[in-house]
Amino acid sequence: MAELPTSARRVADALAAAGITTTIVVLEHAVPTSAAAATAVGCDVGQIAKSLVFRLRESGRPLLVITSGANRVDEAKVGALVGEPIGRADADFVRSHTGFAIGGVAPLAHPAPLTTLIDEDLLAWDAIWAAGGHPNTVFRLTPDELVRIAGGRIVAVRADKKVS
């Protein structure tokens, strides 16, 4: 097995401390999209738990939204849920608040607790896959385990699909 990058080792340690028995899989290449991650591990794209970091526009605080790889986040809906508009965060903001690079943001092992929302659509699966702290790493867990380790609120975040 390939040696874990330092950031993925931090995730592995946090998972173990949380009592989650899983293995962080080191992929040969980075998986920049949910579809690529799903292909790499042999699951449905809906089983990929994307960790997206937003910046609250008024307070400047970070918001972690863990959504199904099949979904696009409705930013207006999420802004209404948290009480202020949200915007995308840049790479430096993401790294400073999560300790991870974009593409490898894990749902746990952040420097400080983050306000977290979890897409209700992830709960439909028996197993899901999340980033392991590095763009080349993923790990498998159950939706219940995700809710427990991320400490998030389960909500509807999916943007309605528009038919053109």
At residue 2 the predicted structure's pLDDT band, cuts being 50, 70 and 90, is low
Number of neighbouring beta carbons within 10 Å of residue 133: 31
Is 12 in a helix, a strand, or coil?
helix
Number of domains comprising the chain: 1
| Domain extent at residue 113 | 6-155
User: Per-residue pLDDT for 52 more than 80?
Assistant: yes
Cross-strand pairs, 54:
63, 88
**Is residue 126 in some structural domain?**
yes
**Is residue 36 in some structural domain?**
yes
pLDDT of residue 160: 84
CA-nearest of 115, 134, 137 to 53 is: 115
Chain centre distance of CA 118 = 9
Question: Rounded to an integer, what distance in angstroms lies between the CA atom of residue 17 and that of residue 95?
Answer: 22
**Percent of the chain whose pLDDT exceeds 70:** 96
Question: Rounded to an integer, what distance in angstroms lies between the CA atom of residue 74 and that of residue 6?
Answer: 33
**Is residue 162 in some structural domain?**
no
pTM: 0.94
Beta carbons of 138 and 53 less than 8 angstroms apart: no
CATH number at residue 36: 3.90.960.10
> What phi-psi label fits residue 81: left (phi over 0), alpha (psi between -120 and 50 degrees) or beta?
alpha
Mean pLDDT across 65-85:
97
pLDDT of residue 163: 44
pLDDT in tens, 102-160: 999 999 999 999 999 999 999 999 999 999 999 999 999 999 999 999 999 999 999 98
pLDDT of residue 161: 64
pLDDT of residue 139: 97
**Is residue 76 in some structural domain?**
yes
**Is residue 164 in some structural domain?**
no
